[in-house]
Chain A
Amino acid sequence: MMSVGLLSCALRALSLRSSQIAGVSAALTGSRGFMTSACDRQNRSLWKQRDKYTVRPIGVKKTGGRDYTGKIITHRIGGGHKQRYRMIDFQRLRYEAGKEEQPIEEKVVEVRYDPCRSADIALVAGGSRKRWIIATEHMEAGDLIQTSGAIGRIAVLAREGDSHPLGALPVGTLVNNLELFPGRGAQYIRAAGTCGVLLRKVNGTAIVQLPSKHQIQVLGACMVTVGRVSNVEHNKRVIGKAGRNRWLGIRPSSGLWQRKGGWAGRKIRPLPPMKRFVSLPSAAKS
C-alpha cells in the first residue's frame, strides 16, 4: 500500500516541475532538478519582512501559538478579532535624512488605540515624515514634543512626552520606553500605565528602577521618554465574560487538574543584584 502511494508521488513529481506542485513561481523557489519540491508554507512570516517604514497599517497573519512545524508552542493563543499592525518607531532619536544632530521637534497629529499592545499610540509628524510612537499619559492631538540627544551639565526641565538621554534628565523623573544600549531602540517599560524611575546617575551611567522593582544600570546616552505610558486604567479593566477574552485572542486554559508544586503563589524574596548593561573597567567594579 505504501509503495503505491510513493509511486503516485513519484509520478506527480516526475510530471510536474517542482515549483508547479506548490503553485509558486520558479523564480521564488530557485530550486533545480526534479527530486526537489517547493514547500507550501512560504508566506507565514512574509507580512513582517517589510524593510521600509510606513504609517499605513499592515495585515497580520495569526499563528495561533503554532510554529513552523505546526505544533502548539504557546498555549491559550488563537482566534480573536482581526488586527492590523502599525509599525511603531521605538527609536525616538531617529534623524531625518540631512538633519542629523539637530533636536527633533514633532507635532502629535492623533492618539489612537492599538490592537497589538496595551498602550495607546500617537501619530506624530515632524519635518516631512510621519511615524507612530507609544503615547504617554497626557498626550493629546496638537501637542509639540521634542527629542534631543544632547547631554548638558545642567539637567533639562523634563516635560512629559519629550525624549532625552538618561544623562540629561534630573534624578527622580518618571521615564518610559527605555533603551538598553544607545541606538538600539526602546525595549523596556512600554506597557500601558508603566513607568520607571531614574534613581541615580554615576559617572556616565544611570541606574533606573523598572516597574518590577528591579534595578538596572545603563549608559547615560540611552534615550528615554519622560512620563507614564498612556492608557493608565488598563489594569483596572474588568473582562466581564469569557467571550471578551476570546475576542482578545486568548483561548481557555486546560481543564486538567494539576498538582501544585512550588511554582504557584506569591513569592517574597530579596531583589536580585543590579543588572549592568555597561562594561566598566575592572577597577571600578565592586
Chain B
Amino acid sequence: MLVKMFKATVQRVSTSAYKITQNCKSKDSHSVLIMIPHGRRCLSTSSCLYGKILPRKKPRVVHEIAGLEPITYADKMHFVPGLAKPKFPPWERGWKEPNHYQSPKLEDMPLYKDKPCYIFNQRTNVLEGVRQALWLSKSVLIKGLPDQILTLAEDPANQIENQDERVQNAIKNSRLWDTTEHRPPRERFCPLVLNRLLHLCGGLQVTHPELAKRILAEKYSLAATWRRGEDVFQVRGQNGLLLNSMTPLPVVAGQEQIQSTADQALETFYPIVPTIDLQNTHVYQEKNDTGFRKDYPYTHAHTLFLMEMGNTPKLLPEQLRAKMVMFTFGNALARAQALYGKEPSILEKPIVVQSVATNGRLFQFVVFQLNTTDLQSDSGVKNLAWVDEDQPLYEFAKVKPLIKKKVVQVPAGLSGYQPNTFKKFLALYLHGAV
C-alpha cells in the first residue's frame, strides 16, 4: 500500500510544477518545501491559494550619482536593510580555461578596424548573381566558352576510347548502381559523378604526358584582398576541389580583345548596391594566400571544381555561377599577388583559371582571365569571364520508369545523354596540356 502510494507520488513529481502546488494548496498550503515555478516565490494571498504566478514587476532602478559614494554592506559581509547593494568587480580566473572563455567585445579585438570589409565566403548567396560578381571583380561577360577550348573539344585525337559508353557507365554507376534505394541523395551521387569523370579524364595521361604534372587538392583555404572604390573586399574560404598544375594556363584572349574591354562599361544595378549579401565585418585581416605553401611544386591553379548539393545553403544556378566567378577571380588574384606583389597594375601575362560546377546533372563552365589587378576604379582594362550556362549531361536517370496513364513518359535507366557536355569537360581538363 505504501509502495503503491510512493509510486503514485513519484509519478506526480514528474508533472509540472504549478500542478503540484495546486494539489498541495488546500490541505498543506503552509508546508515549506513546494516546487516553485519561475524560481520565485508568490507571496500574495491569491497566488498562494490558486497557484497562479503573477508576472514579475521590473526591479527598482538604482541610479548612480557621480561624486556620491553609496554606503554598502560590503564591510559587514551580510545584508543590512537600508544600506546599498555593493557592486563587486568581475572575478577573473587568472588563467585561460577553454570551457569558460568569454571573448572580448568586437571593438576590443586586436584585428578590429574602423573601415568595414565585405567578405565573399563559401556560404554567400548573392542577390544579383553573375552581374554582381562581375562588378566586384571588374570583369566583362562573354557567353559561351572561348574558341580554343571548343576546338579542343572537337578534336578526335583528344577523345578517350569508347568515350560515350564509358561516361554513361560512370553516370549509371553513381546514380543507379550505387545503392538499393530508388533515389540516392544528391550529397551521395554528385561527388561520385565528378570523381568518376575526373578519373576517366586522368586516364588520358598515357597519350598526353603533360597531364601527369597535375594534382587535385581539396579543403584548401583561399584568401584574396582587393580594394574597389572606397571599400575593401575579400574572398575567403574552402570552396572545392582545385586542380593544380606545374605550368600556367595559356592566355586565352589576345591583346586587342583585352584593350577593347577598356571601352565597355561595367553594369550596375541601381538601387541595389553591389555589397549586398556580402558578409560585413570590422574584424578582419588583409590576407593574400593561395592556400598552399611557397615550396609547393604545383603552383598554378588550373581548374576549380564546385559541387552544389543543396545543403549549405541551396544555390540557384545563377548564384552558383556567381560563386564560381568570384572564386576563380580570388584564385587568380592570389596567384598574381604572390607573383607580382601587392601593387595594383595591369598584368603583362594575364592569369587564366577555369572552373566547373555541377549539381550531379547540370554543368556550368567558367573560364576567367585576370588582366589587371588595378581594381580601384571602374574604368580601364577589365578582366574577362567566359560563362557557359546550364549544360545538362543527361536528362533523367531513373530506377523505375515514369508511367502516366499506361504510357511510358520517361524510361528506366539513363536517358537524354548529351555527349557535348563531356567533350567540353574534357576540353577544359586538357587545356594547357595539349
Binding site for B on A (CB under 8 A): 1-6, 8-10, 12-13, 18, 21, 29-31, 35-41, 68-70, 105-107, 109, 125-130, 144
Contacts and interface: CB of A to CB of B under 8 A. Distances in A.
Main secondary structure of the interface of A (DSSP, over half): mixed
Interface in B373-393: none
B94 interface: no
B272 A37 contact: no
B35 A9 contact: yes
Contact of B16 (A12, A41, A105, A144): A41
A8 B28 contact: no
Interface in B21-47: 23-24, 27-28, 31-41
B150 to A, nearest CB: 34
A9 B33 contact: yes
Nearest to A68: B53
A8 B5 CA distance: 11
A112 to B, nearest CB: 15
Contact of A38 (B5, B33, B39): B39
Nearest to B19: A70
Contact of B276 (A1, A105, A129): A129
Given A6-B28, A9-B13, A126 B36 contact: no
B271 A144 contact: yes
Contact of B39 (A18, A41, A109): A18
A40 B19 CA distance: 12
Interface string B338-372: 00000000000000000000000000000000000
B276 to A, nearest CB: 5
A230 B399 CA distance: 44
A10 B6 CA distance: 13
Contact of A126 (B10, B20, B27, B271): B271
A4 B5 contact: yes
A136 B64 CA distance: 50
Contacts of B276: 125, 127-130
B17 A40 contact: yes
A3 B27 CA distance: 10
Contact of A1 (B5, B33, B37, B40): B5
A17 to B, nearest CB: 12
Given A37-B36, A130-B276, A109 B271 contact: no
Given A125-B127, A128-B276, A129-B276, A8 B9 contact: yes
A9 B273 CA distance: 62
Nearest to B16: A40
B272 A6 contact: no
B219 interface: no
B299 interface: no
A105 B2 CA distance: 76
A109 B127 contact: yes
Contacts of A36: 36, 39-41
Nearest to B31: A6
A2 B39 contact: no
A5 B38 contact: no
B52 interface: yes
Contacts of B272: 107, 125-128
A267 to B, nearest CB: 36
A10 B39 contact: no
Given A2-B27, A128-B273, A37 B35 contact: yes
Contacts of B12: 5
Contacts of A107: 271-272
Name the residue among B20, B32, B33 with the largest chain A CB count within 10 angstroms. B33
A136 to B, nearest CB: 18
B271 A2 contact: no
Given A9-B33, A36-B40, A125-B127, A106 B27 contact: no
Given A1-B9, A2-B24, A2-B28, 6 more contacts: A5-B12, A5-B20, A6-B31, A30-B39, A36-B41, A40-B17
Contacts of A21: 35
A68 B17 CA distance: 13
Nearest 8 CB-CB pairs, A to B? A5-B9, A31-B39, A10-B33, A39-B37, A105-B271, A128-B276, A128-B273, A36-B39
Nearest to A30: B39
B13 A35 contact: no
Interface string B310-332: 00000000000000000000000
B275 interface: yes
Interface in B96-141: 127
B33 A35 contact: yes
Contacts of B280: 128
18 contacts: A2-B24, A4-B6, A6-B33, A9-B34, A9-B35, A13-B33, A13-B35, A18-B39, A21-B35, A31-B40, A35-B36, A37-B37, A38-B38, A39-B37, A106-B271, A126-B271, A127-B273, A128-B273
Contacts of B32: 35
Nearest to B26: A2
Contacts of A8: 6, 9-10, 13
Contacts of B270: 105
Given A2-B27, A13-B33, A69 B52 contact: yes
Nearest to B41: A36
A31 B37 CA distance: 11
A8 B37 CA distance: 17
B128 to A, nearest CB: 9
A123 B16 CA distance: 43
B52 A6 contact: no
Contacts of A29: 39
A189 B336 CA distance: 58
B24 A39 contact: no
B230 to A, nearest CB: 12
Nearest to B269: A107
A218 B18 CA distance: 46
A105 B269 CA distance: 12
Interface string B271-299: 11101100010000000000000000000
A205 B20 CA distance: 57
Nearest to B32: A35
A1 B1 CA distance: 10
